Structure 1
Amino acid sequence: MPAAHAPAGPWPTWIRRLLRRGWPRRVHLALESGTPALRGGLPVHDIPRFSICLAGTGRYIVLRQQKLEIITLQRGDAVVAAPQALMEPHASALYLAMGFVFTPEMTRYLLAKKGRGGHRFLQTHHYSRVLDEDGRHFFQALQNRRGSPPDDLAARRLVELLIIKTAEMSEQPEPAVTKAGKARFTWQAACQFLQENLHHPIGRQDVSSFLHLHPNHVSRLFRDFSGRSFLNYLLLARLERARPLLKDPQLNITEIAHACGFRDVNYFIRCYRRKYGESPGKTRLSHFA
């Protein structure tokens, strides 16, 4: 029988704490996309998101006036990414951050730590409620603040309103769902994580750590809902990511391979030929012909 779930654990308390502290103190906006070559092969995400630095120093790669730029966040600062905008953590960043991602199917609550040993998700929660029309208007209003300084009061208030929205969503019980529905929802969250990290050398263990599931359970989810093994699904997703990148003449084959998570370009070429019946170079030539 379908059953309603309790609110999202400690998240309501954590989010309300941000508001009591008067955060964000400053707001950085990531609004530009640019071509794959301009981004150096880094991906953009088609969903809005924002993060708040809780401790340490957050650094992100963004585009400003079609040039790659590094922005720096101190404690209490926020960074907001519009749909299709580039916002990628910089390798030198050392921080504890709380992030919120708003997809059409779910809202993701993330507590992440980036240290010298790499990036880890300490807590994650995938909530089936989605951002309402007011929340979408807040994001649109933030996009209209293009060029505003980080201490812009209007941008700070708009992010504060988004924090209030996420707090309200987290305080509501989850809608009733069957066991099969919950499993599909978890699989969708795993697929979203893969799509956002295809440019990294990720594997099953990364997905299981992100979702706090046993690796074998991750494998079952992909087998049950995609009809493929996890590795086969991941390989296909990487190859599909490469197809549109091959249309950009400013990216060479090695850069495209790396942008899709292949560290060995020869392995990329072999897998691509096996899947599509031709080499990446031939596909590229057919686009330019």
Structure 2
Amino acid sequence: MRSTDPTPRFSSLIDRMLDRDLPRGVHLANEPGAPTGSHGILPYPRFSLCLSGTARYDVSGDGGTRVITLARGEAIAAAPGCLMEPHPRSQYLALGIVFTPEMTRFLLARKNPGQHRFLLAHHSTALLDEETGQFFRALTRPSPRPPEDPYLRKLLQLLLVKSREMVESAQPVPSSRKAWFTWQSACRFIQENFSQPIGRPEVAAFLNLHPNHLSRLFTRFSGCSFNQYLLDIRLRHAAEMLADPRMNIGDVARACGIPDTNYFIRCFRKRTGLPPARYRSAADKD
């Protein structure tokens, strides 16, 4: 990642997409009833536009899982709480915009089989306003419209216009809150990517920080080390995943980002006082 201000690059990228009358189609991820313990759920709205390659997403709900495929120039919009994850065999370059309660995240990501890299990131203090929220709710409302329908395309373009304004209008983070804002950005990244093989170097690179500075932020604001925070997030989600009887212990370990099952069992027992199998049995009896 570059250390220069990414704002102009995102502004220019959005302008080019609007000049080209993108997106060519909009797919909706709004499945209700995500499975218990699912780890790809985000409680806030977001959308992504495929810039090159073919983007595939697994979208799950109580009706099962389907794969949504995006060609170049197409977009996907996900309603809050929807379970949507990149398909393992995807290969694409995409712009993603995520509206969280603390910030709006602009992401340029490249996905190859077995690898997901963020090439550029910008965390804006501008937040989703009521007007933009109404556009998003209208877009993700269940509808029989096909992806190429002009109604869906124009709504997504309105979101791009509003996002462009948010890039430019964001107020600088006050120096007194800059460290906290950066720590929050790191926490969001971990919460959204804990299932991936990430560690301190990857999160520091994502935020354009020195790894030692990242460690200091976690000690200051979390009261624990970076590694402790990451492990706690993973084990917290693991406890939720154990409620799904279809997942064995190894599946849960890998899904929460710990490929070594024995290490996962040791960490889980240290945190909860019970090994995963007994924790699952005890939860079933409650």
Shift of the 64–283 alpha-carbon distance from structure 1 to 2, 3 Å rule, reads: closer
Q: Distance in 2 between matches of 1:152 and 1:62?
A: 21
Q: 1:160 aligns with which of 149, 154, 157?
A: 157
Q: Distance in 1 between matches of 2:171 and 2:7?
A: 8
Structure 1 gap ranges (5+): 1-5
1:169 aligns with 2:166: yes
| Aligned residue runs from structure 1 range 20-169, under 5 A | 20-32=19-31, 34-36=33-35, 42-63=39-60, 66-115=63-112, 118-169=115-166
- Secondary structure at the counterpart of residue 246 of structure 2: coil
1:15 aligns with 2:14: yes
1:169-222 deviations in Å (ceiling 9; x for gaps): 1121424512x4111101111111111111112111111121122222211111
Q: Give the superposition deviation at 1:279.
A: 1.8
Q: Give the superposition deviation at 1:249.
A: 2.8
- Secondary structure at the counterpart of residue 88 of structure 1: strand
RMSD (CA atoms): 2.1
Q: Give the superposition deviation at 1:115.
A: 3.4
CA contact (8 A) 2:110 2:117 kept: yes
Q: Give the superposition deviation at 1:69.
A: 2.0
Q: Distance in 2 between matches of 1:93 and 1:176?
A: 35
1:279 aligns with 2:266: no
Q: Distance in 1 between matches of 2:264 and 2:145?
A: 42
Q: Give the superposition deviation at 1:250.
A: 3.0
- Secondary structure at the counterpart of residue 8 of structure 2: coil
- Paired position in structure 2 for 1:3: none
1:191 aligns with 2:187: yes
Which stretch shows the higher mean deviation, 43-52 or 114-123?
A: 114-123
CA contact (8 A) 2:35 2:62 kept: no
- Secondary structure at the counterpart of residue 250 of structure 1: coil
- Secondary structure at the counterpart of residue 59 of structure 2: strand
CA contact (8 A) 1:7 1:171 kept: no
> Hey, which bits of structure 1, 4+ residues long, moved more than 6 A?
none
TM-score normalised to structure 1 length = 0.90
- Secondary structure at the counterpart of residue 7 of structure 2: coil
- Secondary structure at the counterpart of residue 113 of structure 1: strand
Shift of the 165–117 alpha-carbon distance from structure 1 to 2, 3 Å rule, reads: same
Q: Give the superposition deviation at 1:42.
A: 4.6
1:130-150 deviations in Å (ceiling 9; x for gaps): 110011111111222434311
Q: Distance in 2 between matches of 1:63 and 1:235?
A: 26
Q: Distance in 2 between matches of 1:22 and 1:225?
A: 44
Q: Give the superposition deviation at 1:10.
A: 2.4
For 1:103, give the aligned amino acid.
T
- Paired position in structure 2 for 1:211: 207
CA contact (8 A) 1:31 1:63 kept: no
For 2:161, give the aligned amino acid.
I
